[in-house]
Amino acid sequence: MRTSSRPGGSAAQRAYDFAKWAILNAVYQGGDVITEGGLANEIGISRTPVREALLRLEVEGLVRLYPKKGAVVSSFSVAEVEDVLEARVLVENFTAARSFANRATLLPQLEAAHGEMRQRMRERDTAGFTDADRRFHELIVDAADNHVLSSIYRTLRERQTLFTSAMMRGRADRMAAAVSEHDKIIATLHGDDEAVFCQAVNDHLQWSIALARDSR
């Protein structure tokens, strides 16, 4: 098992990392129930940190908590995916131009996230790949220095995480295509044309929408 957990860390962090890894890699699937006691036994910790971890996962939209029952792993509808992707287009296209002005700082951060995507793809680690992909896009939005839009964007990506993972799981071809798409975005940051960068970001978003529709 390969998780994205940090070395050491608190019991709550370990519970969070394990449960998120298990959800994104379909060990726990949509509709499955995760109990505090079961997860605590799996990791070898008490229930209190497990409860904290499940609360974090609920905020991210990966589970829904039910009193005395546990956490039910979320599922998604095609309509929900479409709504999130359309909202992403609005935020990412708006922030792209502002982010380009900060490309000297942005570029090495994007290249690091992109390198992580490549590594996770080679390891066939869907959860790690999804996290790195999410970080790649968050870096572009954050470079626009608009904290409100960054907050909105994180909420959107949290809602999309489960779908992205399901779409990429077991599909090396889709992972490779996503990496290739990001290659194009990075290439434009080495130039001086803001419009070309913005177009590359929008082209990638349209590719994501088309891929989501093909994955129905």
Given the structure tokens 């529709």, which residue do they identify? 213
Does 196 map to a domain? yes
Q: How far apart are CA 65 and CA 1, in angstroms?
A: 26
Domain ends where: 73, 97, 123? 73
**Are 60 and 137 in the same domain?**
no
The pLDDT of residue 25 is 72
Domain with 191, as residue range(s), is 78-214
| In a shared domain, residues 64 and 88 | no
pLDDT digits (tens, 9 = 90+) for 89-124: 999 999 999 999 999 999 999 999 999 999 999 998
pLDDT of 101: 94
Does one domain contain both 184 and 88?
yes
Is the same domain home to 114 and 28?
Answer: no
Does this model's pTM top 0.85?
no
Question: Which tens digit of pLDDT belongs to each residue from 39-54?
Answer: 999 889 988 899 999 9
* 21-25, 37-41, 179-183: least confident range: 21-25
The count of domains in the chain is 2
> 3-state SS of 5-42?
CCCCCCHHHHHHHHHHHHHHCCCCCCCCEECHHHHHHH
What's the CATH code of the domain at 38?
1.10.10.10
**150 and 68 both lie in a single domain:** no
